[in-house]
Amino acid sequence: MIVDDHELFAQGLALLLTREWGELFTVGGQTTYVEEAADLVARCDADVAIIDLSMPPLGGVAAVRHIKARHPKTRILALSGTDDLALAEEALRAGADGFLPKTARPEALAGPLWTIGEGLRVVDGALLDALLSNTRKPPSELLDTLSAQELQLWTLLATGMETGDIAQRMLVSERTAKRMVAALLHKLGVNNRIAAAALAGRYRLLDDVAETGRLS
């Protein structure tokens, strides 16, 4: 099914899918209204929904949320005619299983649609590059709030060191080390050591350790 407020685009896409790949896809329905999307999925028993993200007034992301809330097994391919990658990321977080720009060649849609229908995910290259760039470059403000001792503790945690060993390395009692770890996790905004280690990777705290083989 297709959810797009540009009726001519939706009709053209439906015609293309039927004419070129009718043996693979059946277009069960179309709507130009976000509010009708979830109901249309039910009526069509749709396996895959194609949703335009730039739909007024609620927006395509709302349609993604509505559909996933009521029909979690329905796969969703989000499309957008803008270069707003933040909107595309929001759609993926809302439950979309893939994203492509509307500038993609029409004949290039069949593969992603089939892939999504088979349970995999598809992301446009530009969006993937942006997401990876954001992952590689986390905001530096967090590091500025940590003392040298806290940075050392975070590094030790990230290597998997146990509390007793941390206490010995930092010349404190084990009870004090436990309190320090708890305080650091709270300051980092994570719930456990695994999450702290993952965050340390994003900030490249262990790069020097990997190069020298030594902890400070």
Q: Residue 155 belongs to a domain with what CATH number?
A: 1.10.10.10
Q: Are 81 and 102 in contact (CB under 8 A)?
A: yes
Q: Can you give the pLDDT at residue 135?
A: 52
Q: Are 200 and 206 in contact (CB under 8 A)?
A: yes
Residue range of the domain that includes 129? 2-136
Helices and strands of the chain, counted as H and E runs: 12, 6
CB burial of 132-160 (b: ≥16 within 10 Å; e: otherwise) equals eeeeeeeeeeeeeeeeeebbbbbbbbbee
Residue 17 amino acid letter: L
What is the rounded CA–CA span in Å between residue 188 and residue 173? 22
Residue 131 amino acid letter: L
Q: Looking at 136, 161, 181, which one is the last position of a domain?
A: 136
Q: Looking at 105, 121, 136, which one is the last position of a domain?
A: 136
Q: Any residues with CB less than 8 A from the CB of 77 and at least 6 apart, and which?
A: 48, 49, 50, 51, 96, 97, 98, 99, 100, 112, 113, 116, 122
Q: Can you give the pLDDT at residue 205?
A: 76
In this predicted structure, the answer to whether residue 211 has a pLDDT above a threshold of 50 is no
Summarised one tens digit per residue, pLDDT across range 10-60 is 999 999 999 999 999 999 999 999 999 999 999 999 999 999 998 877 789
- CA nearest 59: which of 41, 38, 39, 35? 35
pLDDT band, residue 213 (cuts 50/70/90): very low
Q: Which range (2-11, 18-27, 58-67, 101-110) has the least confidence?
A: 101-110
What is the rounded CA–CA span in Å between residue 164 and residue 10? 63
In this predicted structure, the answer to whether residue 131 has a pLDDT above a threshold of 60 is yes
Summarised one tens digit per residue, pLDDT across range 148-185 is 999 999 999 888 889 999 999 999 999 999 999 999 99
Q: Looking at 136, 151, 168, which one is the last position of a domain?
A: 136
Antiparallel, parallel or unpaired: β 122-123 and 98-101: parallel
